[in-house]
């Protein structure tokens, strides 16, 4: 078993306090957005040896012939993240190969596909968490927009609004959403900007969650058409202990909150707005799933009195949530790469050879497949990230 030290990504939208609080460190006032725990080459965890030496987890696993595990993160958002979508595996492989053949540097700001993997992901809320994710019925968005007191718009902006309402009235819901999203994200800035501003003002003080969300987003990204796209999406609110799952094609944006995020070990993100980073609308529109979907909540499966498992069934990852209690021992038999993070209290993890690591709040470890079965005991809250369960048969 390997104790880990992990990197924090200081993205501008990050909370200055949540991750320092988890790690027991003083906050320094700077944004600390994501704690990365895993072997992703962009920010691999460090394995801490008994003599104090350090080695990258990616290097350790490559030397041992162990596949790289899913990427575990603690995500702490004080401001909205970008409007984004992730590709499926076939698209990622094809488009990555095309960009490689074209000689686009992997670290270029306009590079779209950093690797050839898909990036499904789940988020387990540690605090109240808000997001917009997946399309709702276009009629609901049309009713909201049509009911707003939008007066005095420039002629071109008024024409855009009329066309948008026509898009959303189409009989085919998927085509209605495709047309409306495309129209908004490809409109000229001086045409769509006034509509974003007018909608934000009209939504202020509303009791409609979508209207309030648009007003909130406009405060962070004035004039951005992603504000209007948010009206087309489901509002998702997670209480602590609830989770969501985002498959390929699900357009989404996290708004605020802190949670544990688990995903395939990929960095493929296609952005459509609400960000200063590179935006590629045509590529996003090619990847997005325009079906009307319910809010993407992920229900846990209880495997014991102390353990829940979140497994979306894609095979890439699953997240076990263990509430360790005095006098009880949990045993994990399945010999797979296992990434552990203690969220509360103190939990001791023991391998068959007698090796033991005690993990306190904010501490993490990696267990090799050969070190199973592994046991956990103590008093606290521990999450364990693994590959998903194999399909029956």
Query: In which residue are the tokens 């968490």 written?
Result: 129
The CA-atom distances, in angstroms, between 71 and each of 42, 121, 128, 200, 273 are 11, 9, 22, 36, 25
N-to-C CA span, the chain: 31
Tokens standing for residue 182: 């495309």
Q: Under 8 Å CB-to-CB from 390, ≥6 apart: which residues? A: 315
Residue with tokens 């540097």: 105
Cβ proximity of 84 and 270 under 8 Å: yes
Check: CB of residue 177 under 8 Å from CB of residue 139.
Answer: no
Question: Tokens 């699900």, residue?
Answer: 250
Token pair for 117: 């993997």
Start-end of H helices in the chain: 18-23, 57-64, 89-101, 138-146, 155-168, 173-186, 189-203, 209-220, 226-229, 281-287
Q: Which residues carry out catalysis?
A: 271
Give 250's Cβ-side CA count (13 Å radius).
24
Separation in Å, CA 191 to CA 155, 178, 187, 223: 9, 19, 7, 10
Name 255's Cβ contacts closer than 8 Å, sequence gap at least 6.
Answer: 77, 80, 81, 130, 131, 132, 213, 216, 217
User: Is the Cβ–Cβ distance between 319 and 310 less than 8 Å?
Assistant: yes
């Amino acid at each position: 078993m390997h104790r880990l030290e992990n990197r924090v990504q200081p993205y501008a939208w990050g909370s200055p306090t949540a991750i320092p609080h988890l790690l027991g460190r003083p906050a320094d006032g700077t944004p600390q957005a994501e704690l990365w725990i895993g072997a992703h080459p962009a920010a691999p965890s460090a394995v801490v040896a008994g003599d104090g030496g350090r080695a990258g987890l990616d290097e350790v696993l490559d030397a041992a012939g162990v596949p790289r595990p899913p990427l575990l993160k603690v995500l702490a958002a004080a401001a909205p993240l970008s409007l984004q979508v992730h590709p499926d595996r076939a698209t990622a492989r094809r488009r990555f190969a095309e960009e490689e053949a074209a000689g686009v540097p992997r670290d270029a700001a306009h590079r779209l596909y950093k690797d050839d993997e898909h990036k499904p992901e789940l988020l387990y809320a540690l605090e109240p968490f808000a997001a917009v994710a997946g399309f709702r019925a276009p009629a609901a968005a049309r009713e909201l927009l049509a009911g707003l007191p939008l007066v005095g718009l420039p002629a071109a902006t008024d024409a855009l609004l009329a066309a948008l309402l026509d898009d959303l009235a189409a009989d085919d819901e998927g085509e209605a959403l495709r047309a409306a999203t495309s129209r908004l994200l490809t409109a000229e800035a001086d045409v769509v900007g006034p509509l974003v501003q007018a909608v934000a003002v009209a939504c202020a003080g509303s009791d409609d969650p979508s209207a309030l969300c648009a007003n909130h987003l406009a405060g962070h990204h004035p004039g951005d058409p992603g504000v209007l796209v948010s009206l087309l999406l489901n509002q998702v609110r997670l209480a602590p202990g609830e989770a969501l799952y985002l498959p390929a094609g699900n357009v989404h944006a996290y708004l605020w909150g802190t949670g544990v995020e688990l995903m395939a070990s990929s960095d493929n993100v296609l952005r459509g707005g609400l960000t200063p980073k590179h935006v590629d609308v045509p590529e996003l529109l090619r990847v997005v799933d325009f079906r009307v979907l319910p809010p993407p909540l992920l229900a846990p499966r209880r495997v014991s009195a102390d353990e829940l498992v979140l497994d979306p069934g894609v095979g890439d990852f699953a997240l076990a949530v263990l509430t360790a209690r005095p006098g009880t021992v949990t045993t994990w038999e399945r010999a797979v790469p296992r990434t552990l993070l203690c969220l509360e209290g103190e939990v001791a993890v023991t391998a068959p050879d007698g090796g033991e690591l005690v993990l306190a709040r904010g501490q993490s470890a990696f267990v090799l497949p050969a070190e199973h079965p592994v046991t956990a005991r103590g008093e606290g809250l521990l999450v364990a990230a693994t590959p998903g369960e194999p399909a029956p048969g």
